[in-house]
Structure 1
Amino acid sequence: MNKTKRMMMGVLTTLMAGSLVACNNTDESLPPPNDQDCDDWEWDPSTSTYVCDDDDSAYYRHYYYGGRYYPSKRSLEKSSSYKSYQTTQEFQNRAKSGIGSGTKGGSFGG
């Protein structure tokens, strides 16, 4: 009985670890910004950028790209540097593969 318990605990631990990884799947090659104005970041798969999720920050729910904050998705998409990013192979690969999707929280509209 002791061996069965250990085996079941191992199976459950593996399943739980896999679930946590699936729920927090961000693109490892694109780490969250290191910016003193925001301490919590969420990946937004629809824009392939990070969004500030620090409700104590003046930039709460702002998109972050290229060292700048954008108050809405619309303002981000109007940015010439972001438009250039959208044409890169890196952006296209992320959009096709879903890299970064499935992070905690949801996508933010704007």
Structure 2
Amino acid sequence: VLGVLLGAVNINLGSLSAVSIFPILILMLLTENFIEVQTGKSRHEATLVMLQTIVMAIIGAVILKTNWVQKLVLLNPEISLLVIALFDIYVGKYVGLRALEMWKFRKLMK
């Protein structure tokens, strides 16, 4: 991917070099996740995971494009971080242990 973006500059293909690398990286991660689920489970379940991810990405993009959310995040980042942290604790979808589990098993972690 990086090679294609750098090569686009050398062959004067400016429109390709103007593409941000982050959407490309996100698509690569989504593809990796899709293949990982497909190898462990069925193609149907992998497709459902992919569709859920795309729907959540679209919803997130629509929310983040609103001016008041952008102003809130830029002017009050501490409020944004606090809200995200509280939401993560409420939902409990950490990659690692949840906060309560870390407190409960703190002696074992030492």
Taking structure 2 as the reference length, the TM-score comes to: 0.31
Structure with more helix by fraction: 2
Structure with more strand by fraction: 1
